Structure formats: C-alpha cells, structure tokens
Amino acid sequence: MSKKTGKITKVEKFYIENNTDKEVGEIAKDLNRTKASVEKHIAKNKTSHVDEAQDKKAPIRDLFGHKEDRGVTIMTPAASETADETRSSRVRQSQRHKNAIHIINPENK
C-alpha cells in the first residue's frame, strides 16, 4: 500500500533524481509512494534541469576562486573547462588568429 499524503522528502527526491533509468512504478514501489507523486516530481525536475543549463551559461568569472582580502583570483577546473567549451562563441576567429590562445588587441584583426 502506498503513501497517499505528505511531501516528498529530500532523501526521496535524491533517490528519484539518481534513479532515472528505472521505471516510475519501480521507483514508486521502492519509496512506498504513488506513481503520480513520483511522475509529478520527475516532471518538475525536468524543468529545473533547463534552469540549471541556463545557470551554466553564467559568466565564467563566477567559477573562479576569489580571496578578496589578499587580492588573489584562481582559475578552478570548472572555470577552465567552461572557458574551453565556450571559446568559439566568445572569440570570433579570423584566419590570422586561428591558432591564437589570446588576442591582445582584437580591434586589429
């Protein structure tokens, strides 16, 4: 018999989100929840993944490690990967600067 009332707990949400390869009925049975409540969370979670994808497009500077009291900024692995992935959209490449890592004066293409 399934639970009929109550919100889905954080643990149950975590279980649902990390077992997307299982069928909804199987997840509902494991959690002792109704299929409808599990399906509702999955549908709600799909829209939140769209929001997370938009958050990934946040400026790269937010991914850097900052220590303001010492005036230090460190590039994290996440910032480096994001910079590599988005390089083509950030720098319009001409044949002259095709293999350049950094263009000192982009106005003089």
Q: Is residue 95 part of a domain?
A: no
Same domain, 15 and 52: yes
Output the pLDDT for position 20. 84
| CA separation for the pair 26, 56 (Å, rounded) | 32
Helix, strand, coil percentages in the chain from 3-state DSSP, rounded to 5: 50, 5, 45
pLDDT at 68: 85
In a domain, 103, yes or no: no
The encoded tokens of residue 57 equal: 């497009």
The domain total for the chain is 2
What parts of the chain have a pLDDT lower than 70?
1-5, 47-58, 90-98, 103, 106, 108-109
Same domain, 52 and 64: no
In this predicted structure, what is the pLDDT of residue 26? 92
Q: Is residue 2 part of a domain?
A: no
Whether residue 42 sits in one domain with residue 24: yes
Q: What is the CA radius of gyration of the chain?
A: 23
Phi, psi of 81 (to 5 degrees): -65, -45
Model pLDDT, residue 7: 84
**Residues 84-97: pLDDT tens digits?**
887 777 666 566 66
Are residue 40 and residue 52 in the same domain, yes or no?
yes
Instruction: Quote the domain boundaries for residue 66.
Output: 60-90
